[in-house]
Amino acid sequence: MFITFEGGEGSGKTTLIKRLAEALIERGYDIVQTREPGGSRIAEKIREVLLDKNNTELKPHTEALLFAASRAQHLDEVIIPNWDKIILCDRYIDSSYAYQGYARDLGYDYISKINAYALRYMPDLTFYIDIDPSIGMGRVNSKRGHKIDRLDSETFNFHERVREGYLKMKELDQKRFIVVDGNRTIDEIYSEVMNIILERL
Ligand code: TYD
C-alpha cells in the first residue's frame, strides 16, 4: 500500500507520519517511511538545489523538472523496491500539481507530461492536511531551528494558490485524495487518518 501525505507549509504532516509509522510498526506492519524531494542519496542532492534560498534565479520549468527528476530517482531506489510494504511518503506528485502546476502556473498537463513515470505508480491513498496558509506560515516562522527554505520564502499569495491547487486535486480524484481538516489537534488528525488507513488495509 502506497500512502502519500500532502499539505502546505507547517501543516504538521511530518509529525503525523512519524506517529502513524510508529503505530503501524507496533501492529506488526512492514513500514517504509520516506519523503520527497529526497529520500535517497542522489535525490537529496537535487533537494539541496531546489530548497537553497540562494538559488533565486531558478526558473519554474527547471524547478518542475528537478522535482520530477528527484521523484524518478526516488521511485526506482525506494518506492518500487518496497512496493509490497506499506510506504508512507511525505509529498509526491500532488505537490508538483499544487506548487508548480497551479501556484507557478505551469499547468496540469505539463506536470502530467514530465511526471509520466510517476503516474504509473500512483498512491492508493493521499491525505491532504488542509490548513489556512497564514496559520501554517506562522508555525514555520516560529519553529525553532527550522531553516527557512526557498519555497517557504515565497509570498503569502503563492501559499494561498498552493492551497487552491490542492483543493482542485480533490475534484479530480475523490476516492484517492482525502482532505483532512488540519485546524485540529494532532491527536484528532491522527485518529481520523489512522482509522481510514486501517479500514483500507
Ligand atoms: P520540505 O522541507 O520537505 O517541506 P515540508 O516540511 O513542508 O514538507 O520542503 C519541500 C518543499 O518542496 C515544500 O515547500 C514543497 C515543495 N515541493 C514542490 O514545490 N513540488 C514538489 O513536487 C515537491 C515534492 C515539493
Buried b (16+ CB within 10 A) or exposed e, 179-189: bbebeeeeeeb
pLDDT of residue 99: 98
CATH architecture of the region 2-200: 3-Layer(aba) Sandwich (3.40)
Tell me the pLDDT band of 62, cut-offs 50, 70 and 90: very high
Is 67's C-beta closer than 6 angstroms to any atom of ligand 1?
yes
**Mean pLDDT for all residues in the chain:** 96
Q: pLDDT tens across 108-162, in order? A: 999 999 999 999 999 999 999 999 999 999 999 888 778 899 999 999 999 999 9
**75 grid coordinates:** 521511485
Residue in 5, 73, 89, 95 to alter for ligand 1 test, most ligand atoms within 8 A of Cβ = 95
Is 36's C-beta closer than 6 angstroms to any atom of ligand 1?
yes
CA distances from 70 to 39, 42, 124 (A): 9, 8, 21
- Mean pLDDT value across residues 171-185: 94
Instruction: Tell me which amino acid residue 123 is.
Output: P
pTM: 0.97
Tell me the pLDDT band of 72, cut-offs 50, 70 and 90: very high
pLDDT of residue 29: 97
Is 70's C-beta closer than 6 angstroms to any atom of ligand 1?
no
Residue nearest to atom 13 of ligand 1 (CA): 151
**Atom of ligand 1 at shortest range from CA of 99:** 19
**121 grid coordinates:** 505508480
Is 96's C-beta closer than 6 angstroms to any atom of ligand 1?
yes
**176 grid coordinates:** 484517492
Domain ranges of the chain: 2-200
**Atom of ligand 1 at shortest range from CA of 10:** 7
E strand intervals along 55-121: 86-90
pLDDT of residue 56: 96
